[in-house]
Chain A
Amino acid sequence: MSDSKKPSESRTIRVGALARVEGEGALHLEMRDGKVEQVRLDIYEPPRFYEAFLRGRDFREVPDITARICGICPVAYQMGACHALEKCMGVFDQVDPAIRTLRNLLYCGEWIESHVLHIFMLHLPDFLGYESAITMAADHGATVQRALKLKKLGNDLVALLAGRAVHPVGVCVGGFYSGPDPQQVKLMLPAMKAAVDEMAELTLFLAGKLQYPDLERDYEFVALCPDNEYPMNLGRIKSDKGLSVDQEEFGQAIEERHVPHSTALHAVIRGRGAYMVGPLSRLNLNAAKLHPRAAELLPKVCKLLKHELPWRNNFFSLPARALETVHALALAADILEKYVPPPRSRIPVAPKAGAGGHGTEAPRGICWHSYRTHADGSIAAARIVPPTSQNQMTIEEDLWKMAQRITDLPDEEAALRCEHLIRNYDPCISCSVHFLKFHRTWRP
């Protein structure tokens, strides 16, 4: 922490790194005459050039390779790659419903572990005034224990379907290498059912007992919107402001800009500007399709928050994530209960020249892939649009609004407020992009 001087003088402030965020970035606030002049979220995650080295690889390797973009949401990268490559190979419509159901089940596992990790280990300490869940555990041991149990269940579910939680090995283009063992499925069911009640209770605690900063903005919410289910793997991409595109067209609807201070490309909707992906967008656009267990909680949560949907305050992403966790647990319990081993766990996929684009709902928002393939099945071109790079411009705009309110605060307090806000987005900076140092420059 650097020394604090009066706001009227010129100064640069360096506050410790933005912790509890996956990846690295830095925040610069430039102040003149006590007013915010510039806000810049720097992202200097080392570039790893996935889109470049994927060229020439076999299409069957892609789900395993792209999983390595992010250890927190590998399933999202695997699902995006599988769907897009099935389009390249012309078999997208041939995937069995039973395989699609298992893909949703796998995604439930990732949503549960990622959401619970973020809500309780990374974000809740901000609301309760702790520097980390480790310190928080001293006063709220029971809550942390309950959360760890839920997180483990999410990991166990991913492992049940695909071998392990980080970089699962069971997923392939066309489905799964094998279906889960019915015996193991049966064993997991009681814990999953109990977890629904557990998380429902925790959701009401989160909605009722926390102080949510009031920062409403007129966002454009973008999410997958399938007709008859809460979004995960399928659906047209829509917004609350009129965007409605087929999966394939999404790449055309957005524009990615490369800015000097970031290795993440900033995505904007063509001709319009910044937009938001993630739990708030999904919930605002798809609340009617929540699992009945989550749907019955929604009015109670709205009452406790004193806000009806649509929520335009991204601090409410925490209760939104909690509701989505209830949804994922309840949906997982339903699927596990009805599970019978499918006649086949994968459809045959032959190499072919083709092109295909597809996005799925990573815990932190749409993760969109597009590929072109050669006749031998090798990759000719790849483009991957991760959620955090889509949110980056919206985060900067939020910070702009927040920065006006914190000009009087001491540096550490100001940095905390900004970090808290950034964590609303559950930014997975390694996806695209390293972690945050806080700089505030005061110019006379």
Chain B
Amino acid sequence: MPDSQQIIGKPKLAVYKFSSCDGCQLSLLNLEDQLLDLVGTVEVAYFLEARRRELPPPYDIGLVEGSVSTPEEEKRIHQIRRDCKFLVAIGACATSGGIQALRNWADVEEFMRCVYATPQYIHTLDTATPIASHVFVDFELRGCPVNPLQLLELIGAVLVGRKPNIPTHSVCIECKRRGLTCVLVSQGEPCLGPITQTGCGALCPSCNRPCYGCFGPMEQPNIASLGGRFQSWGHSPRGIKLMLRSFNGYLEPFKQASEHYERLEKTK
């Protein structure tokens, strides 16, 4: 954490976009009740989605949304690291590569031919990777999208120079606390809640559906145990691979586990 004493005047906030859907930046704008207080506390120095004016670096806090998927982005992230004292990767794309990291297991040339009539116009990398694969990040905030209140907690914590209070336990614990009926035990639904990090508030079980893992793996998840249970219910290795390989599929240990089920799928 930076020493808050070092921040002179209003702390400067920068928000950057890489390969992404804009949803995590929008989550900041979705803090309607706190937004005017927030912009009163920090100087929004660089945030193209919200304002035209840009103040020059350095910035006290930099929030990066999106994954690195083009040669230009690969260069830009290094300058951003130099410009920001405290750099936070926000959201599944920035912390895991995001859904577009599915290309990391595919032939990108073939992908380009599939989508674009003239693939030679397209400049892209063979992989979409998280920010921490390229530069040191001071914190990673999970979620597809991030929870606006966790974002607020994070900014507040950085401003006062303490550790952000972002729990790393499973969705299951959150779900039990809310008193929701377990969709896995009671309905036999393939819920990823036991291996997924909390932060959403156990949203999917509250909507009567199994968790699909949009906050990525919890600390030390027992994926083998859950996968074994799913298999005993008749789910195929391919099905389990797809469940693990979605918005945080390229993040360990989801990545490794999905590759395990891919091998099982092929040997079958």
Residues of A within 8 A of B (CB): 16-24, 44, 46-53, 55, 57-58, 61, 64-65, 68-72, 74, 117, 121, 125, 131-135, 137, 141, 144-145, 148-149, 151-152, 155, 162-167, 169-170, 172, 176-178, 257-260, 262-263, 265, 419, 428, 430, 434-435
Q: How far is the CB of A187 from chain B (nearest CB, A)?
A: 16
Cβ-based interface call for B20 (8 A): yes
Q: Which of B43-51, B157-165, B220-228 contacts A (4 or more CB under 8 A)?
A: B43-51
Chain A neighbourhood of B200, CB < 8 A: 164
Chain B neighbourhood of A164, CB < 8 A: 145, 200, 203
Interface string of B188-212 (1 = CB under 8 A from A): 0000000000001001101111001
Q: Which of B78-86, B116-124, B253-261 contacts A (4 or more CB under 8 A)?
A: B116-124
Cβ-based interface call for B19 (8 A): yes
Cβ-based interface call for B230 (8 A): no
Which of B21, B26, B145, B242 touches A58 (beta carbons < 8 Å)? B242
Which of A19, A46, A57 touches B73 (beta carbons < 8 Å)? A46
Complex: A434 Cα to B48 Cα, angstroms: 11
Complex: A435 Cα to B50 Cα, angstroms: 12
Q: Which of B4-12, B107-115, B134-142 contacts A (4 or more CB under 8 A)?
A: B107-115
Complex: A18 Cα to B26 Cα, angstroms: 17
Chain B neighbourhood of A172, CB < 8 A: 209
Q: How far is the CB of A318 from chain B (nearest CB, A)?
A: 18
Question: Nearest residue in B to A24 (C-beta to C-beta)?
Answer: B17
Cβ-based interface call for B32 (8 A): yes
Do residues B22 and A23 form an inter-chain contact, with CB atoms below 8 A? yes
Which of B29, B50, B242 touches A57 (beta carbons < 8 Å)? B242
Do residues B99 and A258 form an inter-chain contact, with CB atoms below 8 A? no
Interface string of B38-65 (1 = CB under 8 A from A): 0100001000111111100000000000
Known: A121-B29, A167-B23. A51 touches B114 (CB 8 A): yes
Complex: A108 Cα to B53 Cα, angstroms: 32
Which of A20, A55, A70 touches B51 (beta carbons < 8 Å)? A20
Q: How far is the CB of B180 from chain A (nearest CB, A)?
A: 11
Known: A61-B242, A162-B207. A152 touches B33 (CB 8 A): yes
Complex: A258 Cα to B121 Cα, angstroms: 9
Cβ-based interface call for B231 (8 A): no
Do residues B27 and A46 form an inter-chain contact, with CB atoms below 8 A? no
Do residues B242 and A134 form an inter-chain contact, with CB atoms below 8 A? no
Q: Please indicate which of the listed interface residues A125, A169, A435 has the most CB atoms of chain B within 10 Å of its own CB.
A: A169
Contacts A/B (CB < 8 Å), 29 sampled: A21-B49, A22-B22, A46-B19, A49-B102, A49-B115, A53-B100, A70-B22, A71-B23, A71-B24, A72-B22, A72-B26, A74-B23, A121-B50, A125-B52, A131-B53, A132-B44, A132-B52, A134-B39, A152-B33, A162-B207, A165-B30, A167-B214, A169-B209, A170-B207, A170-B209, A258-B116, A258-B118, A428-B22, A430-B20
Chain A neighbourhood of B99, CB < 8 A: 48, 53, 65, 68
Do residues A49 and B111 form an inter-chain contact, with CB atoms below 8 A? yes
Q: How far is the CB of B113 from chain A (nearest CB, A)?
A: 9
Complex: A72 Cα to B69 Cα, angstroms: 21
Do residues B122 and A263 form an inter-chain contact, with CB atoms below 8 A? yes
Interface positions, chain B 61-111, Cβ under 8 Å from A, are 69-70, 72-73, 98-100, 102-103, 106, 108, 110-111
Complex: A165 Cα to B118 Cα, angstroms: 36
Complex: A167 Cα to B246 Cα, angstroms: 14
Do residues A22 and B49 form an inter-chain contact, with CB atoms below 8 A? yes
Known: A19-B48, A260-B121. A53 touches B207 (CB 8 A): no
Q: How far is the CB of B115 from chain A (nearest CB, A)?
A: 5
Do residues A148 and B35 form an inter-chain contact, with CB atoms below 8 A? yes
Cβ-based interface call for B14 (8 A): no
Which of B30, B44, B114, B209 touches A177 (beta carbons < 8 Å)? B209
Chain A neighbourhood of B250, CB < 8 A: none
Complex: A152 Cα to B148 Cα, angstroms: 13
Chain A neighbourhood of B242, CB < 8 A: 57-58, 61
Number of A-B contacts (CB under 8 A): 193
Do residues B32 and A166 form an inter-chain contact, with CB atoms below 8 A? no
Which of A55, A148, A435 touches B32 (beta carbons < 8 Å)? A148
Q: How far is the CB of A312 from chain B (nearest CB, A)?
A: 28
Chain B neighbourhood of A71, CB < 8 A: 20-27, 145
Complex: A262 Cα to B102 Cα, angstroms: 23
Cβ-based interface call for B36 (8 A): yes
Known: A20-B49, A117-B29. A68 touches B23 (CB 8 A): yes
Do residues B116 and A131 form an inter-chain contact, with CB atoms below 8 A? no
Which of A52, A74, A131 touches B114 (beta carbons < 8 Å)? A52
Q: How far is the CB of A107 from chain B (nearest CB, A)?
A: 18
Question: Nearest residue in B to A429 (C-beta to C-beta)?
Answer: B22
Question: Nearest residue in A to B54 (C-beta to C-beta)?
Answer: A16
Which of A17, A50, A52, A53 touches B48 (beta carbons < 8 Å)? A17
Do residues B49 and A70 form an inter-chain contact, with CB atoms below 8 A? no
Question: Nearest residue in B to A19 (C-beta to C-beta)?
Answer: B52
Cβ-based interface call for B144 (8 A): yes
Chain B neighbourhood of A434, CB < 8 A: 17
Q: How far is the CB of A79 from chain B (nearest CB, A)?
A: 16
Complex: A125 Cα to B207 Cα, angstroms: 38
Question: Nearest residue in B to A141 (C-beta to C-beta)?
Answer: B36
Do residues B118 and A132 form an inter-chain contact, with CB atoms below 8 A? no
New contact pairs (6) apart from A49-B112, A49-B114, A263-B116, CB-CB < 8 Å:
A68-B144, A71-B22, A148-B35, A169-B209, A177-B207, A265-B116
Do residues B206 and A163 form an inter-chain contact, with CB atoms below 8 A? yes
Complex: A20 Cα to B242 Cα, angstroms: 36
Do residues A52 and B23 form an inter-chain contact, with CB atoms below 8 A? no
Which of A46, A51, A65, A162 touches B18 (beta carbons < 8 Å)? A46
Chain A neighbourhood of B69, CB < 8 A: 46-48
Complex: A304 Cα to B175 Cα, angstroms: 53
Q: How far is the CB of A434 from chain B (nearest CB, A)?
A: 8
Complex: A435 Cα to B66 Cα, angstroms: 14
Complex: A144 Cα to B32 Cα, angstroms: 10
Which of B44, B70, B116, B203 touches A46 (beta carbons < 8 Å)? B70
Known: A68-B247, A430-B21. A134 touches B44 (CB 8 A): yes
Chain A neighbourhood of B114, CB < 8 A: 49, 51-52, 55
Question: Nearest residue in B to A16 (C-beta to C-beta)?
Answer: B54
Q: How far is the CB of B236 from chain A (nearest CB, A)?
A: 10
